[in-house]
Amino acid sequence: MPLMERGDGYEIPDKLVDGMNVLDVYGAASEAISRAKRGEGPTLVECKTYRYRGHGMYDTGLDYRTQEEINEWMHRPGPW
């Protein structure tokens, strides 16, 4: 089950956005904030992202994925 569907049981609206696109994230967050300020409750915003580098200075990230995978994500045309 995608994370955003978890709010369905609580009747919380959800929005799935491309977390690699700052304008998409800004738009979704702005809508959620406006909704909350109007007293309409929370909104679940799921941002799909990809980490190009490892977790730390000595982690290249290549132990658990290939350079080709990283390159594909760096040059992908659109949402995940």
Domain range holding 80?
50-80
Question: What pLDDT is recorded for position 35?
Answer: 97
Cβ-contact 52, 73 below 8 angstroms: yes
Token duo for residue 14 = 């959800």
10-residue averages of pLDDT along the chain (80 residues)? 80 92 96 98 93 83 88 77
Whole-angstrom CA distances from 4 to 43, 46, 66 are: 10, 6, 28
What one-letter code names the amino acid at 18?
Answer: D
- The answer to whether residues 54 and 27 belong to one domain is no
- The answer to whether residues 38 and 56 belong to one domain is no
Task: Indicate the number of domains in the chain.
Answer: 2
Which residues 6+ apart lie within 8 Å of 55 measured at CB? 61
Question: What phi and psi values does residue 60 have, to the nearest 5 degrees?
Answer: -80, -20
